[in-house]
């Protein structure tokens, strides 16, 4: 939403010409849209209802700034398309510090885990709209290898079955429950 302060003469003109079927905000929005789509410009200055616009809001007239392009490391060129896609969709900051951090984290992933993991993490980051890709997070939550032994689940005392006849039993009498406690 944009709030605009108009001179009284322009406000009076709007009130006089506004159709009864439209609310004032809708009528003003219609006029502004019509002026923009019909190209009501004089040079680089916008004209609204024949007068110069007082504020250029979103127009950036500072040409002294040069946008430095983000360079992708040679080792990561294989993943350039995914990196660019992630950069477009990512949450959070897109400044030079964020770019450097992303490149460093991707290089760590590449050196420790290889190209497949970098590719996988970038795809997950794009689909999940992550704010960043982190090697430490990957290592914290990485899927275990198939050769790893399963965790030995210790039996909890509350899982023991007590019956009046046998007291506490280590194994339940019901064959469907065998091995669960």
First to last CA, the chain: 62
What integer pLDDT is reported at residue 36 of this predicted model?
73
What integer pLDDT is reported at residue 119 of this predicted model?
93
CA distance 67 to 166: 80
> Phi and psi (nearest 5°) for 179?
85, -10
What integer pLDDT is reported at residue 15 of this predicted model?
86
Quote the longest CA-to-CA distance of the chain. 99
Q: Which two tokens stand for residue 143?
A: 């899927």
**C-beta of residue 95 within 8 angstroms of C-beta of residue 64:** no
What integer pLDDT is reported at residue 51 of this predicted model?
56
CA distance 55 to 46: 9
SS3 content of the chain, % helix, strand, coil (to 5): 45, 10, 45
Handedness of CA 124, 125, 126, 127 (dihedral sign): positive
What integer pLDDT is reported at residue 144 of this predicted model?
66
Q: What is the pTM of this model?
A: 0.45
| Cβ-Cβ contacts under 8 Å for 66 (sequence gap 6 or more) | none
**C-beta of residue 115 within 8 angstroms of C-beta of residue 78:** yes
Q: What is the mean pLDDT of each run of 10 residues along the chain (181 residues)?
A: 82 85 85 73 51 50 47 89 90 88 92 92 90 88 64 64 74 64 52
């Amino acid at each position: 939403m944009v709030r605009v302060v108009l001179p009284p003469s322009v406000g009076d003109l709007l009130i006089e010409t506004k159709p009864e079927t439209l609310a004032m905000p809708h009528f003003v929005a219609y006029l502004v849209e019509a002026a923009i789509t019909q190209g009501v410009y004089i040079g680089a200055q916008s004209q609204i209802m024949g007068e110069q616009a007082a504020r250029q809001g979103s127009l950036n007239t500072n040409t002294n700034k040069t946008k430095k392009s983000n360079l992708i490391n040679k080792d990561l060129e294989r993943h350039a398309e995914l990196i660019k896609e992630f950069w477009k969709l990512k949450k959070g900051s897109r400044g030079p510090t964020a770019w450097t951090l992303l490149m460093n984290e991707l290089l760590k992933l590449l050196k420790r885990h290889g190209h497949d993991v970098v590719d996988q993490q970038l795809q997950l980051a794009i689909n999940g709209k992550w704010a960043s890709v982190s090697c430490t997070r990957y290592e914290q939550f990485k899927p275990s290898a198939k050769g790893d032994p399963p965790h030995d689940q210790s039996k909890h005392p509350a899982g023991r079955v007590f019956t009046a006849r046998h007291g506490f039993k280590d194994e339940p009498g019901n064959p469907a429950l065998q091995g669960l406690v």
